[in-house]
Structure 1
């Protein structure tokens, strides 16, 4: 089941979200963090960076639940600048490594797209490490490649830089 979390939901979701982020980074996800990455840093990310956006209603946070546990998440961040009322960023699509290949990432993205359309956003933008398997998912959902930036992000395991692919989807 996919749900959009609101501020009152956040404290009850914190442990599961911390576990997902921590497990994904440990598994090699390139989502802004590198190893070593203790659970406390994952918890602080949600509490210090995501909660304020949800509370201010500048960020929509979606979760995928199975058997009462949150196993996946994604964020929709509508652009705030006056010349971009049509655009939103997709951020941190995360599915717990133990729950992959069940369609949770696809379901989260579909819910995110529906919400974007509901609030009048017709252009979605995201970036992903070029070698990341999520790129295939995004392309299967209709995202197009805008370009690639070499040496954009650090590999989570090794001290080397990797390219990032920028993608977009026109919802109009």
Structure 2
């Protein structure tokens, strides 16, 4: 059976799934309750407001092909204090079990943990839960020294390998420079417009619907040049060996007095011909370094949930703050969820 995985800690189905998980969990521990309202406070808060309870974590839901609502969920907790990220709250509705949903959720959680750069992932499981325990062992989890001393609770861990990168030509062949307002204006109708057109043509959600016409792309960059002249936005562009622009990133400074410590990363674009050689990471790092050097202490951004850009930001140490369903349409006009990220500097 095909399963669709989405990240959405605000999905309306999630409270039901988490509530069912905790009610069964309480019953198995010998302290049954009949309603979510009667759960211990820490568990009740998860079921009643998962978006707040898991604000820094990755919440995945699984929907089987043909179904309208997710039938399973899992949480990948953000790492803290140098510890490995932890998988929690794996749950599949009883009527949807033995269809591969739990395995699909675990596979995606492990993939995301590896993509974030984690060297291992861990979890706990009650020793009487034979089916989940068998699944975890089949995925390579092994028992380790306990970090949770509750009786009958097993602590398991799995080492991770980071995805292999394909051989590529060195990223150093692309030179990154900060553009003056005049340079932004000079490149608006050609190199910069071409980057924006390429992004929309490749399906990236960057604020425009397809087909994006060159005059509209040029006009947008002309407005960016005005913002750069006003000191509102900084622009960096990457040039390949032939001098053509291969990527761009902008940093927008908050205008409100109480937000002068904050900036936003916007329009990080890498041309399809230049992808796969680390240029996106270099552009992002350049903007982050400049932000820190000029006194900013917090950066924010948003990106389409489950997009390749999400893997870039997670790998660069950004933290997911929440997901908004149907926040923005992709170039084809289909509403897609957006995940908000932040990164503290210094």
User: What interval of TM-score do these two structures reach, taking the shorter chain for normalisation?
Assistant: over 0.9
SS at match of 1:64: strand
Q: Report if aligned partners of 2:199, 2:269 keep a CA contact under 8 Å in 1.
A: yes
One of 227, 231, 240 as aligned partner of 1:66:
240
Per the TM alignment, residue 37 of structure 1 is displaced from its structure 2 partner at its CA by 1.1
Query: Which of 201, 213, 227 is 1:53 aligned to?
Result: 227
In 1: Cα distance, 2:184 partner to 2:340 partner: 30
Larger relative strand fraction: 1
Matches within 5 A, 1:11-160: 11-14=185-188, 15-47=190-222, 49-67=223-241, 68-157=243-332, 159-160=333-334
Residues 57-105 of structure 1 show CA distances to partners (whole Å, capped at 9, x for unaligned) of: 1110011111111110011011121111211001000001111112111
| Distance apart, 1:10 and its partner CA | 2.3
Number of residues of Structure 1 aligned to a counterpart in Structure 2: 170
Task: Output the CA distance in 2 between the equivalents of 1:91 and 1:10.
Answer: 15
DSSP-derived class of the 1:108 partner: helix
Q: What is the CA-CA distance between 1:8 and the residue it aligns to?
A: 2.6
1:6-39 Cα distance to aligned partner (Å, 9 max, x none):
1232243221001010011011010000112111
Alignment gaps of 5+ in structure 1:
none
- Residues of 2 paired with 1:43 and 1:100: CA distance? 23
Please, what is the CA RMSD of the aligned residues? 1.1
- TM-score normalized by the length of structure 2: 0.48
Task: List structure 1 segments (4+ residues) > 3 angstroms apart after TM superposition.
Answer: none
Number of the residue aligned with 2:184: 10
Structure 1 window deviating more from structure 2 (12-21 vs 105-114): it is 12-21
SS across alignment from 1:83: helix
| TM-score between the two structures when normalised by the length of structure 1 | 0.95
Query: Which shifted more, 65-74 or 120-129?
Result: 65-74
Asked if the contact 2:185/2:225 (under 8 Å) is kept, the reply is no
User: Is contact 2:321-2:341 (8 Å) kept?
Assistant: yes
1:162 counterpart SS class: strand
Greater RCO structure (CA 8 Å; 6+ sep):
1
Radius of gyration: which is bigger? Answer: 2
Q: Secondary structure at the match of 2:209?
A: coil
